Amino acid sequence: MTDTMNRAAIDGLRFFGRMSAAISHDLKNTLSIMNESAGLLEDLALLTEKGRPLDPQRVHQLGATIKRQIQRNDGMVRNMNRFAHSVDDPLKEVGLAAHLEMLLAICRRLTDARGIAVSVAPCHAEVSIVTRPFFLLHLVWLLLEWGMEHAGSGKQLVLEIEPFPPSFVRMLCRGLETLSADASLSQWNDLLSLLEARMEITVDRQAVAVVMPLRIDG
């Protein structure tokens, strides 16, 4: 387990860095919009000083833009904080859908760059699991990265959570149009081992499923 953990930790650091860079890019964009909106307000004020009439509606619009970006920024920082804390505890109870939504929000820029729409399917009931939160996020990201190569012309991946009684849950990554039954999944063995999970290919559903326990006892 030690070697497995060490390899996963080193790969995990790379994943952590990549997600952090994606967040920093998003933050830079919101800052840029606020910068240009504030700059435009200054421009309009200067022009008003020179006698050009100021349309109050423009000021309202720019104020609303800045407020929107602050809210957007706040959401990003909250996700960044949750992501950062995912390494705090070796084992922790997480709401699975919320955990996945947080990851998708963080990596949205990376999936958009590939032209792939990724979403979490609505669940009938929230499923909570005791797991290794950071390693689960890493596994899902690797699955998405691989899935984007297999999304085909649909260019849409959906993460779906299904109960798998009595003591497991199944997370499907659907939309893998070019998936073949003999696709190799061994590259994720370390993470699967740490999560006490297994992967299954279901070609008829164009999906890869991760079956994981509702509780890892550690």
Partner 1 sequence: MKPVRVLLADDEEELVAALVERLELRGITVDGVCTCEAALALLQDKRYDVAVLDVKLPRMSGVELKKKMVRTAPHMKFIFITGHGSYNCFQEGSAEAGQPYYLLKPVDIDLLVAKISELTAENPSSDVRKDETS
- The minimum distance between CB 58 and partner 1, in angstroms, equals 9
Contacts with 81 (C-beta within 8 Å, 6 or more apart), sequence order: none
Using the rule CB under 8 A, which residue among 93, 112, 126, 200 binds partner 1? 112
Binder of partner 1 out of 13, 113, 121, 203 (CB under 8 A): 113
- Comparing CB distances to partner 1, the nearer of 155 and 215 is 155
CB of 120 to partner 1, least distance (A): 20
- Considering only residues 126-165, where is the footprint of partner 1 by CB under 8 A? none
24 scored as a contact of partner 1 (CB under 8 A): yes
Q: Does 52 bind partner 1 (CB under 8 A)?
A: yes
For the chain, where are the alpha helices, taking DSSP H only? 2-49, 56-85, 96-113, 133-149, 189-194
**φ, ψ (nearest 5 deg) of residue 72:** -60, -45
Bond preceding residue 166 cis, omega within 30 of 0: yes
Q: Does 28 bind partner 1 (CB under 8 A)?
A: yes
Q: Considering the rule CB under 8 A, would residue 33 count as an interface residue with partner 1?
A: yes
**Quick check: 122 binds partner 1 (CB under 8 A)?**
no
Residue 216 lies near partner 1 (rule: CB under 8 A): no
The correct pick among 32, 71, 180, 187 for binding partner 1 (CB under 8 A) is: 32
Task: Compare residues 37 and 131 and give the one whose CB is closer to partner 1.
Answer: 37
* In contact, 170 and 202? CB cutoff 8 Å: no
Is position 203 an interface residue for partner 1 (rule: CB under 8 A)? no
> Using CA atoms, how far apart are residues 106 and 132, in angstroms rounded to an integer?
19
Q: Is 109 in the site for partner 1 (CB under 8 A)?
A: yes
* CA separation for the pair 76, 79 (Å, rounded): 5
In degrees, rounded to 5, the angle at the alpha carbon of residue 133 between the alpha carbons of residues 127 and 17 is 135
Who contacts 75 (Cβ-Cβ below 8 Å, separation ≥6)? Answer: 105
Compute the Cα dihedral for 190, 196, 202, 208 and give only its sign.
negative
* Interface contacts to partner 1, rule CB under 8 A: 21, 24-29, 31-37, 39-40, 43, 46-47, 50-52, 62, 65, 68-69, 109, 112-115
